Every structure is written in structure tokens, then in C-alpha cells.
Amino acid sequence: MDYDQIKKAAQGYQADMTRFLRAMISHPSESCAEKDVVACIRSEMEQLGYDQVEVDGLGNVIGWMGDGDKIIAIDSHIDTVGVGNRSNWTDDPYEGWEDDAVIYGRGGSDQEGGMASAVYGAKIMKELGLIPAGYKIMVVGSVQEEDCDGMCWQYIVNKFFPAKGIRKEQVEFVISTEPTDGGIYRGHRGRMEIRVDVKGVSCHGSAPERGDNAIYKMADILQDVRALNENPADDGAAIKGLVKMLDPKYNPEHYEDARFLGRGTCTTSQIFYTSPSRCAVADSCSISIDRRMTAGETWDSCLQEIRDLPSVKKYGEDVTVSMYMYDRPSWTGEVYETECYFPTWINMERAAHVQALADAHHALWGETRIGHADADPKRDAMHLREGRPLTDKWTFSTNGVAIQGRYGIPCVGFGPGAESQAHAPNEITWKQDLVTCAALYAAVPGLYREENKTADVTQFRAGKTNNDIK
């Protein structure tokens, strides 16, 4: 393989990737409103000579290169979060302005920059004859990830693939193009969305003793949830903190994996109440909990932890702990109902697909993370990358929760941009990253050694729930 030729080709497409990314940014594409950016991506793929481009029923845009039976997929979610308080942005978040080093705008790092590199990475593969015999490349622009991680791939596996006569076992592995700060990422914590509902009894606010204030009950529960997140795991602690999963005493089989991924967390993210008026006692109160799960934690253990909190037990049948469901229609109108549970997953570092990315990086760019260096810390990428191992993990969650976490399809990450830019105002990505990633994607298929794959590439993969959810 001529690595210099690959790098030259990727560098030659930098201006095109920049133009394409700016075009995507110009189309606001929050979850369930991706129609215009899908059309933009489809047009780009068709102009670049993809063998086939299609949009599935959910609205994912999928481009194909090659004609083999085995599939290597490259996934980029193309939905974004909103811009939040517009006054926090120095410029128009949808203009996608550029300078010599960076591209500005919502979606630059999270995660349309990955789409730009993936589309051109596959173009380079075809141009240079880098698609191995028997393989084809599947480039996915997936929707609704910000709303419901991995649901797009649930649809692909359970709806799109069967309609095309494709078995999920034909997918050798998937590269996620989520931002990785110049690293190769082999897993991340899972998450779930938990709801706690508390009943009360209303009465006139002038005589609160006649009622049963649901907000007061919830206040007790909130303190226990906070303790669960913040307490140590000392034997004397009434509520042992989630840090306990890093201790072999409490997590003997998976504490090492948990230390790699990081401890689980729980964050109270929303609160709701009902009351007849502002001069009445609240008759219900509810909270949402964003629960991040490390290795060794499961959907039922996380629910049970909340049910076992002293205040939850104190209020007994007045408290209900449950998991959220997701049923929001996509931009096509399609509804794929699923649970808000996103399993934890970790690959073995020696797994064949992880090693293929490491080998590609070593051949193209060396053994350390690279990126744009700048005297301006707001434009500098290297302060986020220097000294960090090349192979690592994400802090946040990705479509990998379905790809590998739910279905066991091997997944690995390498993508332009920085995690710290995700959901932040004045979001940027770096032009150099677009080139770096496109070149690596192009080189990976030729370095993948199918003969080195094992039956199980996973160090830890959280199990599914007992719900009838595919």
C-alpha cells in the first residue's frame, strides 16, 4: 500500500471536504429535522460516483462502494443539538465560516466533520483501488443520535438490512467517526434515562398540614441521588457511592474495565411537578436522571439502586422508578419505539478491527496523536492530545451502544474534532483532522486481517433488558 499516495489524495481533497462540511453546517439539522442535510449528503455522494446511494425509511442516508458480500461500515450521526443561548455565539452558528485552520459552526465536531471525512475516505478507496476483494464499504449518515443513541442502527439492523437481504453478520466492523481528539477509541460507558415519580395530596397552601407535599418527598430523594453520585464506598456509608464499581471488593469481575472506562455517574437533569395553583400543595413531582454506566453495571442494577435508596423506601408505594421509552417520529414520519437504555461496551485492544486502525495510524501518522497546533488556546488542538495514549475511550456515548453494545457488531472510533466541542457554543473543528481521518479510513480496509479476528472481541458488553425490544 502506498501511504504517501493516500496522504496526498486526502490532502488534495481538503478544500472539497471543507466546502462539504460548511454546506452541511448551513442546514440546521437537530434530531428529527435532518431532511435538508440528508439531501446535501446524498447529492455529494452521487456527485462523487458512489455505486449506490439510498435513504432508508427512518431517514438515514447510506452510500455504498464496492460489490463484495462482507461489509466495513463507517458511521457518522448527522443530527445536532440546538445552539442554546444565541448570545453565547460570537458568529452565526449556521454560516460555517472558515479560516486557514478551523471551520466554525454547529455540527463541526459533533459530528458532521466525521461525515465529510467518511464520504471522501470512501472516495479515495475507490479511486486508489483500496477496497479488498469480497468487501464493500457502507458509509452511513445516521439520524436522531442526539435524541436516542443507536436507535438509528436498531432500525438499520432490524428493518433496513432484512429488506436488503443483508445479515448483520456480514458487517465485519464499524468505524464511528465521533470526535476522538486524535485518538483511536475502543469503547465507552453506557447510559440510561431513569424517571422517578412521587405522589402527593393537594390542599390549600394556607394549611399545608392537610395535604402531602410531593415536592418535599422528592427533596429527600434528591439528596439520596446526590449521595449516590458523590459518596465514597466506605463501609460506614449509608449510601455507597457509584465509585464502588472501581473496587474489586464490589466489582470483582469487571473493576479493571471500570477503571479504564471511568466510574458511573448519575445526574438529576430535569424536575417536574403538578399543583392546582401557586397557593396549593404539590400533588406530584417527578425527576429525570441521566445515569452513566460503567463496566459491571446493568440496566436492572441501576434501577434497583434507585429503588433501594432510603428515601425511596421510606415513601414506599408513593414512589415509582422506571426507564424512559423513546417514540419520537423521524423526519420521514417513521417511529421506531425503543427503550432509553444504551449498553456499555469495550473492545479488546488486540481485536483485529482495533488493530487495523492502529496499524493505519502508525503507517500514516506515527504512534502518537497529531493535530493542529496554535498559539491561541481556543484554536489549538494539541493541548487536548499531547501525552494521551493513542488508544483510549470516549467520555460520552455514541451509536456504538447499539452497534456493539446491543448487537455485538465490532465497533471502533476515530473521528475529527474534539469531545470538548460537542454541544458547546462557538463549536469548531480542524481542517487538518478532516485530512487525517479521510486518509486513515481509506487505509484501514487493506490493513484489516480477517484471519486475526476472534469469536468474541469484547472485554465487556452490558446485557439487554428483558423488554421485547430489538
Render pLDDT for 375-415 as a digit per residue (tens, 0 to 9): 999 999 999 999 999 999 999 999 999 999 999 999 999 99
Region of residue 336 (left: phi > 0; alpha: psi -120 to 50; beta: else): beta
| Residues with pLDDT less than 70, the chain | none
Residue 236, pLDDT score: 85
The model's pTM is 0.96
* Radius of gyration over every alpha carbon of the chain, rounded to an integer in angstroms: 23
Residue 229, pLDDT score: 95
Nearest to 133 by CA among 73, 74, 67, 52: 67
Cα separation, 155 vs 336, whole angstroms: 7
Residue 427, pLDDT score: 98
The domains found in the chain, sorted by start residue, are 3-188+344-461 (3.40.630.10), 190-326 (3.30.70.360)
Annotated catalytic sites, by residue?
79, 145
**Burial letters 244-256, b for 16+ CB under 10 A, else e:** bbbeeeebeebbe
